[in-house]
């Protein structure tokens, strides 16, 4: 394997160095073709990965994800792991020149057999475990172990060699760094992926447990009618060893699966524990008498169910069983990417706005200093105006009170004036009446005097004065006024 500089891709045209052949497979964002190196004639597999052209795009794979896959592949060199030979890049694609694995999928190979012994099954599982042990020794988790990614280098040999392929989701697990994600094929993902919990190497061990279950039975332990049902089954660890599928399966094999399909990652079988499990090592001395069944002779497993499973997987993939990298939860991850891009733009605009705010703040501080100086002198003038206003307000209130008092006095005087006027009117009427009466009396008296002169004038005057006094005393309550009227009457006569 050639050693490549980290994340440095050759910018030459891949067609100048390799002849492309037929298509070997394809996915949502990648196409794999057979190719031949012109200088050596050696055949390889060229994986054309479509690059994402912009952050807002939903098509293609981000360059950093491709770089991560390349960087991981550059660290790997193991008989059971596909090797990277070269990397090229053009405007639209990154091309990985990979080891040619032409033997097909392991499950397809085993499904062609009439029967499969547990010993044969463990021989292949041992190779898978060896490859995963190498990965885990380098703190690398594959995160997408499934039948489609377990290939045979060449099926036309007595014991074909297993090759683990497709490291598009692989991650280097760093101590002290929490890693969470929602990815993988729902049928094979671990509960911690479904529940969005911290991820690590144990996720691969769960996938190996699912693969083993399918390999021995041809049935998928958690597959439901929908993606949601599948994930609910995984989260609840809802599976069983149906007698229809596991009647010929040893207790050792079931024990191996149980220890892998454990929800608690701390109790789940590690890669070292799996390699040392009695079913894999085929120990001759087993302490648990319930697990002796397999030692009495190899159990022959019918491959009919496995054949049906592989046909179903290839021909009628159910909605919740997607086998293409990045198709699982793609919309969610794409939306998150768009949101991240939007957040970056917001951050840039925020920095620009921050500069504008600082400039405005500087202008504001200058204006505020000027305003304080101006407001100080204006404040003093306002204080004087307030003082004068308060004085004027006090005077206004005093005047209002005086006006009210004056109005009240005027109302009293007006009332009294009206009363006096009414009294005078009545008195005037009575006087007029009395004067008319007096005039009539005088006229009659004068007429009698002329005729006989019976009554003397002084006596008549005294009677008239007496009558007027009585009249005035009745109509006037004030003594001075009555006296004045009497004097006027006397002077009249």
Between 412 and 439, the more confident residue is: 412
- The H or E element that residue 441 is part of is helix 330-451
The stretch 400-428 carries a mean pLDDT of 90
What pLDDT, on a 0 to 100 scale, did the predictor assign at position 458?
63
Report the distance separating Cα 180 and Cα 165, nearest Å: 22
Catalytic amino acids? 144
493: nearest Cα among 422, 423, 439: 439
CA angle 143, 148, 153 (to 5 degrees): 105
Instruction: Tell me what percent of the residues of the chain surpass a pLDDT of 70.
Output: 79
What pLDDT, on a 0 to 100 scale, did the predictor assign at position 474?
63
Residue range 290-318, pLDDT digits in tens: 443 444 444 555 566 676 677 666 654 43
Q: What are the CB-based long-range contacts (under 8 Å, 24+) for 193-202?
A: 193/143, 194/231, 194/234, 194/235, 195/235, 199/141, 199/143, 199/171, 199/173, 200/141, 200/173, 200/265, 201/136, 201/139, 201/141, 201/173, 201/270, 201/271, 202/265, 202/268, 202/270
Beta strands in 303-362 (DSSP E): none
CB 187, CB 220: distance < 8 Å: yes
- Looking at the predicted structure, is the pLDDT value of residue 54 above 70? yes
Helices 202-217 and 251-260: crossing angle in degrees, nearest 10, is 150
Between 333 and 204, the more confident residue is: 204
Confidence of residue 337 (pLDDT cuts 50, 70, 90): low
What pLDDT, on a 0 to 100 scale, did the predictor assign at position 229?
93
CATH number of 8-100: 3.30.200.20
pTM: 0.62
Confidence of residue 198 (pLDDT cuts 50, 70, 90): very high
So where are the chain's domains? 8-100, 104-285+299-317, 327-472
- Looking at the predicted structure, is the pLDDT value of residue 493 above 50? no
Residue range 275-288, pLDDT digits in tens: 999 999 873 334 44
What pLDDT, on a 0 to 100 scale, did the predictor assign at position 14?
93
The stretch 188-215 carries a mean pLDDT of 95
CATH number of 104-285+299-317: 1.10.510.10
- Looking at the predicted structure, is the pLDDT value of residue 197 above 90? yes
């Amino acid at each position: 394997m050639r050693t490549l500089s980290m994340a440095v891709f050759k910018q030459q045209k891949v067609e100048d160095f390799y002849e492309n052949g037929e298509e070997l497979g394809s996915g949502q964002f990648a196409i794999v073709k057979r190719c031949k190196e012109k200088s050596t004639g050696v055949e390889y597999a060229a994986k054309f990965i479509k690059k994402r052209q912009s952050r807002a795009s939903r098509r293609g794979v981000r360059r950093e994800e491709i770089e991560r896959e390349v960087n991981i592949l550059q660290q790997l060199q193991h008989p059971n792991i596909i090797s990277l030979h070269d990397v090229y890049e053009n405007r639209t694609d990154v091309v990985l020149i990979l080891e040619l694995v032409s033997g097909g999928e392991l499950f397809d190979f085993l499904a062609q057999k009439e029967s499969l012994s547990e010993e044969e099954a463990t021989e292949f599982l041992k190779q898978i475990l060896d490859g995963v042990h190498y990965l885990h020794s380098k703190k690398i988790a594959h995160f997408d172990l499934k039948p489609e990614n377990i290939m045979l280098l060449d099926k036309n040999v007595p014991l074909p060699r297993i090759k683990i392929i497709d490291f598009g989701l692989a991650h280097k697990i760093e101590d002290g760094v929490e890693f969470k994600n929602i990815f993988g094929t729902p049928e094979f993902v671990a509960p911690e992926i479904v529940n969005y919990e911290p991820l690590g190497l144990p996720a691969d061990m769960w996938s190996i447990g699912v693969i083993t279950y399918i390999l021995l039975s041809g049935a998928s332990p958690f597959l439901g009618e929908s993606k949601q049902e599948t994930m609910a089954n995984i989260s609840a660890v809802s599976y069983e060893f149906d007698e229809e599928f596991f009647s010929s399966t040893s207790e050792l094999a079931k024990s191996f699966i149980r220890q892998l399909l454990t929800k608690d990652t701390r109790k789940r079988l590690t890669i070292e524990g799996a390699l040392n499990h009695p079913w894999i090592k085929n120990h001759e001395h087993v302490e648990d008498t319930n697990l002796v069944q397999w030692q009495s002779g190899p159990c022959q497993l019918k491959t009919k169910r496995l054949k049906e499973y592989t046909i179903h997987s290839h021909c009628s993939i159910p909605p919740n069983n997607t086998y293409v990298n990045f198709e699982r939860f793609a919309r969610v991850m794409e939306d998150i990417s768009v949101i991240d891009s939007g957040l970056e733009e917001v951050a840039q605009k925020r920095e620009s706005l921050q500069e504008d705010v600082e400039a405005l703040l500087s202008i504001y501080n200058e204006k505020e200093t000027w305003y304080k100086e101006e407001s100080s002198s204006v404040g003093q003038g306002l204080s004087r105006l307030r003082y004068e206003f308060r004085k004027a307000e006090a005077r206004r209130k005093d005047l209002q009170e005086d006006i009210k008092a004056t109005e009240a006095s005027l109302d009293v005087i007006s009332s009294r004036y009206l009363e006096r006027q009414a009294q005078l009117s009545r008195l005037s009427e009575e006087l007029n009446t009395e004067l008319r009466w007096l005039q009539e009396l005088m006229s009659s008296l004068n007429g009698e005097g002329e005729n006989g002169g019976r009554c003397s004038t002084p006596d008549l005057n005294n009677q008239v004065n007496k009558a007027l006094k009585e009249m005035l005393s009745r109509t006037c309550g004030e003594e001075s006024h009555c006296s004045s009227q009497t004097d006027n009457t006397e002077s009249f006569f």
